[in-house]
Structure 1
Amino acid sequence: MKILHVMLLFHTSLQLVCDKRKITAHIGNEFLLRCTYDVKMFRFNKKYWCRGESRSTCEVLSDSEDKHSHRIQVVDAGWNGLYVRVTKLQIEDTHVYWVGIDKIYADIMLAVDVNITQVPVSKPIVLPLTSLRDRSSCWGTAVTTRCSCTSGTQVRYTWYQQKSHKDLLLHNSSDLVLDCGMMGKDRSNFYYCTARNDISIQQSNILSVQVLLPGNSSCIYTLHIPGQAVYDCADYLDVLDFGNQSLQSNQSLQSNQSLQSNQTDRRPSGCRRRAGIPLWYFWLRWSAFAALLITFCIVIKCTQKRHRKRVTKSKKIKV
């Protein structure tokens, strides 16, 4: 019986030969299988493509007479060969298949192993979703960056912060939001993302962030993303320095005025004067007032003395 089985397989191999016995393809792609057969004997026999672990359990999916199947096509080109084309591949398409020729008593069948895998991920790139031309980071505004692959199926993204001792896992997402609170007091920060699926993993280039002015809610920082234009925040720092200098100047002026006022208040009450008026002016004014008061008193006394003399003279005349 075993010898008969071997002879049957050998006889089948002479009547039906395919260019592949194992096929590996990616999700979403397609494959084309080419076979040759004994055209003189089986030119008008139906050919088919079926799925199953064994000949007896094989389920026919499409045949050479089926004109309505769109994903699976079996084309009998006679002397040019027999072609099986399967498109829009999915993981579920991984199985054992058979190329068959319909024949009385026993079909001619040849097994083909098909393995569908995910598309390997490409090297991810980092792209800013917030326009860097606006240099919004110079005002401390949050900037969103995205990790993206040009190829790969069922890709999973993860962001890390690069540390000297051990890289820190930030979160599992394609987007990373950078803000002042996230960076803290560190002057230099480095980030990267990874893209992976079940068959491959790739790491992006380093995204560097330089903090020029740290702060939890208000800071100034720049981003250096590979492939993106480099910018700085020098003009923003100049504006900030000018503002700080103006504030310090105002504070210094207020402090000096307060000190002068305190020094003036410590003088004796007789020496107090208003700011900007010399002391000799006060002495001159009070001296003039005193002279005027004395003159007024002298005039009053003289007037009274004259009045008394007139009264006395008038009394003597009457007597």
Structure 2
Amino acid sequence: MHLSLLALFLFWISGCFTAQDPVTGPEEVSGYEQGSLTVWCRYGSWWKDYSKYWCRGPKRSSCEIRVETDASERLVKENHVSIRDDQTNFTFTVTMEDLRMSDAGIYWCGITKAGYDHMFKVHVSINPATQSPTTVPTTPTTTSTTTIFTVTTTVKETSTLSTQTSHYSDNSLWRMISVMQTCHCSSPEPPL
């Protein structure tokens, strides 16, 4: 009897016997070449003070750790991969930047502990970039154009006819035309 309890206890200590998955995440994520992708891995509150990591490899027993926390919330960056542990929300975030086609593969969200680590498998796929990035130097330019119009207006007054010629820039021409459209252009009746 004591031997079976000891075996059960050792089984539980190794992390193989838990009520919930100690760490979870997306089964699949994808990003575009030269872009970035972010993976959120969740864990149970009892694991908040443990180191978290992101490793790559088809087998959990032989994956290569790419980046690992130091059991704090400090951002850790290795090459083009970063990790940050949010111990309030019980998630750690992994961001892979400047993605390459060779980044595609099997990765693992992991929690370092005595015995076997808790791990969750994530398949990462990388799509080809939609277009090649190009750098085009740009120099801001400003072009200003002013057009001069000549407008001849005829105004009928009581008994005289006068002709007036004026020069207007394009903006004032449109203002003048709108004023002329609202004006009846007839002379007022002489006062009685």
TM-score (norm 1): 0.33
**3-state SS of 2:50 partner:** coil
RMSD of aligned C-alpha atoms? Answer: 2.4
Pairwise CA distance, 1:13: 5.4
AA of the residue aligned to 2:22: Q
The structure that has the greater radius of gyration is 1
Residues 97 and 13 (structure 1), Cα distance of their counterparts in 2 relative to 1, 3 Å cut: farther
Moved more, 95-104 or 58-67: 58-67
Partner of 2:65: 60
Equivalences for residues 1-319 of structure 1 within 5 A:
11=18, 14-18=21-25, 20-39=26-45, 41-65=46-70, 67-80=76-89, 81-120=91-130, 152-153=131-132
**What residue number does 2:139 align with?**
none
Larger RCO (alpha carbons 8 Å, 6+ apart): 2
| Structure 2: unaligned runs, 5 residues or longer | 1-10, 134-192
Could you tell me how far 1:14 is from its partner in structure 2?
Answer: 2.3
Poorly superposed stretches of 4+, deviation over 4 Å: none
For residue 115 of structure 1, what is the amino acid of its counterpart? S
Report how far residue 15 of structure 1 moved: 1.5
**CA distance in structure 2 between the partners assigned to 1:27 and 1:93 by the alignment:** 9
Distance across 2 between alignment mates of 1:99 and 1:71: 17
Structure 1 unaligned residues grouped into runs of 5+: 121-151, 155-319
Contact 1:75 1:83 in 2 (8 A): yes
| TM-score, normalised relative to structure 2 | 0.54
Give 1:67 shift: 3.4
- The DSSP-based 3-state class of the residue aligned with 1:56 is helix
Kindly indicate which of the two structures has a greater share of residues assigned to helix.
1
* Residue type of the alignment partner of 2:28: K
Partner deviation per Cα, 1:9-28 (whole Å, 9 max, x = no partner): 7848522121x211121101
Cα distance change, pair 13–31 in 1 and its aligned pair in 2 (3 A): farther
